[in-house]
Amino acid sequence: MKQEGDKRVGEFETRYSFGGDEFIFVELSEEMSLEVNFRGIAITRKLKEKNLPGIVDICPSNASYLVRFDPNEINPQDLLAELKQLEREVSDLDGVEIHSRLVDVPVLFEDPWTHEAVMRFRDRHQDPESTDLEYAARINGYASKEDFITAITSAPFIVSMIGFVPGLPFCFQIVRKEEQIEVPKYVRPRTFTPERTFGFGGAFSVIYPVQGAGGYQMFGIAATPVFDREQRLPDFQDSMVFPRQGDIFRYRSVTREEYDAVRERVEAGTFKYRKREITFTPYDVLKDPKQFSEMALGRLYHD
pLDDT digits (tens, 9 = 90+) for 37-78: 999 999 999 999 999 999 999 999 999 999 999 999 999 999
Q: What is the dihedral of CA 149, 151, 152, 153, to 10 degrees?
A: 90
Query: What was the pLDDT predicted at 261?
Result: 98
Beta bridge partners of 278: 100
Query: What was the pLDDT predicted at 93?
Result: 83
Average pLDDT of the segment spanning 176-193: 95
Query: What was the pLDDT predicted at 2?
Result: 40
Quickly count: other Cβ atoms within 10 Å of residue 51's Cβ: 7
Asked: is 2-95 a CATH 3.30.1130.10 domain? The reply is: no
User: How many percent of the chain have pLDDT more than 70?
Assistant: 96
For residue 158, pLDDT beyond 90: yes
Class of domain 99-302: mainly beta
Query: Where residue 34 falls among pLDDT bands split at 50, 70, 90?
Result: very high
Domain with CATH 3.30.1360.40 in the chain: 2-95
For residue 275, pLDDT beyond 90: yes
Query: What was the pLDDT predicted at 164?
Result: 79
Query: What was the pLDDT predicted at 303?
Result: 63
For residue 7, pLDDT beyond 70: no
Average pLDDT of the segment spanning 134-149: 97
Average pLDDT of the segment spanning 172-192: 95
Average pLDDT of the segment spanning 98-126: 96
User: How many percent of the chain have pLDDT more than 90?
Assistant: 88
pLDDT tens digits, one per residue of 218-249: 999 999 999 999 999 999 999 999 999 999 99
Average pLDDT of the segment spanning 176-194: 95
Q: Are strands 197-201 and 190-193 parallel, antiparallel or unpaired?
A: unpaired
Average pLDDT of the segment spanning 267-293: 95
For residue 9, pLDDT beyond 90: no
Domain with CATH 2.40.100.10 in the chain: 99-302
Query: What was the pLDDT predicted at 69?
Result: 97
Computed over every residue of the chain, the mean pLDDT equals: 93
Query: Where residue 11 falls among pLDDT bands split at 50, 70, 90?
Result: low
Nearest to 218 by CA among 300, 112, 93, 98: 112
